[in-house]
């Protein structure tokens, strides 16, 4: 690992200590390298549903992560223990059917399989994991788990893969073994996101720029609606195919169009009237959202938080009205946040149909904002949202504790 891990790990020290103790208790001290890996969750500030359309996004990592301790075995068995679920998973390589494994282990098994296919990984290993990224809340818990596994295994088995390729490998694992046709934003954000920065990412080329967050002036706050995202996966795949229909339609007029990310406003305007209503709205969202991401990255570079906040809010409106992936709970949290003095902007984040809202807010109004969000939400929905202030943007790191 090229990072100076001492400064990056301080907050995670106690987690790693806990993990190491749990590892020793379950698998014994033994010889061999013990690799520790950490990969954070992420929150997307602007750029909803643009990643799988060859577009732009602007996420940042959060201060919650997945932690893993891994050690090589002499045989071909994979033996994992989740401290959160108090569950174990065990199988022998090569294994092609993971369906009998607990879901958390399927993510790891998918990554192992991809490393097997691409780099011939066929040795067994044992591992312990834990995490505090809320599950199913749209904060990148799956990507954090995949990236922690991939980075830990790369270090353990000395496999060289670039950060971008690692992200793509994790995305493939999710497509093939978990069955969610996600874009690549989460895995790249989790893998390359940097402390104190948002990530301006071109999801087609994976070119990216780390844009400083104005942490002395504003903070990121997340409100989890706690609505389970039952519809998320099926609606996600439905939106993807609607976008593909939009591409097929627009390609008739310009055959260089391969994704909605290639479509500019004038081409869309010219032909929007001939499109089916739902497809037109999905395209309108993606094309305008792409512009908003580029404008918001520029606003962030210039430290123009007011402009940034307006773009966040416009993004929410388009996700609600054009892309139709919001729900009443998310809309209400956004409206309450936006009506609070000192809040720059708010929008739903992640796939939608539940999950979280992200707010960019001046520090001093956080207590007032928290109070208002809880009060209004309880009044309308009979329960409180869960609120998180993002104190830090963690980075993905691995540590090799050699015990020859
Ligand atoms: C989910 C997916 C991402 C992205 C978002 C919507 O989080 O995993 O790839 O498509 O939804 O922006």
How confident is the model at residue 1, as a pLDDT? 38
Give CA–CA dist 388/357, Å, rounded. 11
Give CA–CA dist 132/190, Å, rounded. 14
Query: Which ligand 1 atom minimizes the distance to the CA of 183?
Result: 9
234 is an annotated ligand-binding site residue: no
236 is an annotated ligand-binding site residue: yes
Torsion sign, CA atoms 150, 155, 159, 164: positive
Q: Which of 51, 63, 155, 186 is catalytic?
A: 186
Which residue's CA is minimally distant from atom 1 of ligand 1?
351
Q: How does strand 218-224 pair with strand 386-390?
A: antiparallel
For the Cβ of 66 lying below 6 angstroms from any atom of ligand 1, the answer is: no
Q: 22-45 burial, b if ≥16 CB within 10 A, otherwise e?
A: bbeeebeeeebbbbbbbbbbbbbb
Q: Can you give the pLDDT of all 404 residues of the chain as single tens digits?
A: 334 444 455 556 789 999 999 999 999 987 889 999 999 999 999 999 999 999 999 999 999 999 999 999 999 999 999 999 999 999 999 877 778 899 999 999 999 999 999 999 989 999 999 999 999 899 999 999 999 999 999 999 999 999 999 999 999 999 988 777 899 999 999 999 999 999 999 999 999 999 999 988 999 999 999 998 766 677 898 999 999 999 999 999 999 999 999 999 999 999 999 999 999 999 999 999 999 999 999 999 999 999 999 999 999 999 999 999 999 999 999 999 999 999 999 999 999 999 999 999 999 999 999 999 999 999 999 999 999 999 999 999 999 987 65
How confident is the model at residue 11, as a pLDDT? 59
For the Cβ of 350 lying below 6 angstroms from any atom of ligand 1, the answer is: yes
Q: Name the nearest CA neighbour of 338 among 308, 359, 355.
A: 359
pTM as predicted = 0.95
Three-state secondary structure call for residue 246: helix
For the Cβ of 352 lying below 6 angstroms from any atom of ligand 1, the answer is: no
Q: Which residue is associated with the tokens 């007011």?
A: 306
Query: Radius of gyration (Cα) for the chain, nearest Å?
Result: 21
142 is an annotated ligand-binding site residue: yes
How far is the centre of ligand 1, averaged over its atoms, from the C-alpha of 334 (Å)? 19
Which residue's CA is minimally distant from atom 7 of ligand 1?
350
Which residues, in sequence order, are bridge partners of residue 131?
Answer: 66
Query: Which residues have C-beta within 8 Å of that of residue 258, sequence separation ≥ 6?
Result: 54, 247, 251
Three-state secondary structure call for residue 179: coil
Query: Which ligand 1 atom minimizes the distance to the CA of 52?
Result: 10
For the Cβ of 358 lying below 6 angstroms from any atom of ligand 1, the answer is: no
How far is the centre of ligand 1, averaged over its atoms, from the C-alpha of 138 (Å)? 8
Which residues, in sequence order, are bridge partners of residue 221?
Answer: 359, 389
For the Cβ of 115 lying below 6 angstroms from any atom of ligand 1, the answer is: no
Give CA–CA dist 368/57, Å, rounded. 30
Three-state secondary structure call for residue 274: coil
Give CA–CA dist 43/190, Å, rounded. 10
Query: Which residues have C-beta within 8 Å of that of residue 127, sequence separation ≥ 6?
Result: 23, 68, 69, 70, 71, 79, 80, 81, 108, 152
Give CA–CA dist 375/45, Å, rounded. 24
How confident is the model at residue 98, as a pLDDT? 78
CB 224 within 8 Å of CB 386 = yes
How far is the centre of ligand 1, averaged over its atoms, from the C-alpha of 400 (Å)? 32
Torsion sign, CA atoms 182, 208, 307, 336: positive
Residue 186: active-site member: yes
Q: What are phi and psi of 292, to 5 degrees?
A: -65, -40
How far is the centre of ligand 1, averaged over its atoms, from the C-alpha of 145 (Å)? 16
Give CA–CA dist 229/48, Å, rounded. 16
Q: Outline where 174-304 has alpha helix (H).
A: 185-192, 232-251, 265-272, 277-301
């Amino acid at each position: 690992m090229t990072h100076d891990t001492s400064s990056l790990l301080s907050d995670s020290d106690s987690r790693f200590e806990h993990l190491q103790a749990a590892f020793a208790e379950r698998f014994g001290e033994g010889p061999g390298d013990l690799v520790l890996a950490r990969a954070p969750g992420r929150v997307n500030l602007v750029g909803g549903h643009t990643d799988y359309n060859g577009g732009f996004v602007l996420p940042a990592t959060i201060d919650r992560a997945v932690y893993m301790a891994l050690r090589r075995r002499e045989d071909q068995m994979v033996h994992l223990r989740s401290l959160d679920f108090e569950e174990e998973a065990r199988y022998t390589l090569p294994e092609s059917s993971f369906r009998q494994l607990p879901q958390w282990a399927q993510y790891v098994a998918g990554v192992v399989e991809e490393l097997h296919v691409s780099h011939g990984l066929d040795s067994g290993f044992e591992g312990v994991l834990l995490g505090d990224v809320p599950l199913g809340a749209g904060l990148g818990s799956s990507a954090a788990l995949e990236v922690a596994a991939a980075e830990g295994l790369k270090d353990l088995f000395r496999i060289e893969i670039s950060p971008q390729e690692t992200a793509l490998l994790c995305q493939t694992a999710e497509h093939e073994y978990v069955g969610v046709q996600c874009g690549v934003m989460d895995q790249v954000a989790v893998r390359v996101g940097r402390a104190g920065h948002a990530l301006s990412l071109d999801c087609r080329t994976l070119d990216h720029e780390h844009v400083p967050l104005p942490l002395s002036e504003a903070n990121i706050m997340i409100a989890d609606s706690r609505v389970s995202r039952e519809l998320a996966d099926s609606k996600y795949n439905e939106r993807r195919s609607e976008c593909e229909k939009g591409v097929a339609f627009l390609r008739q007029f310009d055959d260089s169009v391969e994704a909605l990310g290639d479509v500019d406003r004038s081409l869309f305007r010219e032909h929007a009237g001939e499109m089916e209503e739902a497809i037109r709205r999905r395209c309108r969202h993606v094309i305008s959202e792409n512009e908003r991401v580029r404008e918001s990255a520029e606003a962030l570079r210039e430290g123009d938080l007011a402009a940034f906040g307006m773009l966040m809010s416009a993004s929410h409106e388009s996700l609600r009205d054009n892309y139709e992936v919001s729900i009443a709970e998310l809309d209400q949290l956004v409206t309450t946040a936006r009506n609070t003095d000192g809040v720059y902007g708010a929008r739903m984040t992640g796939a939608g149909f539940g999950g979280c809202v992200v707010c960019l807010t001046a520090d001093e109004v956080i207590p007032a904002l928290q109070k208002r969000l809880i009060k209004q939400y309880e009044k309308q929905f009979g329960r409180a949202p869960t609120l998180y202030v993002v104190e830090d943007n963690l980075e993905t790191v691995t540590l090799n504790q050699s015990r020859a």
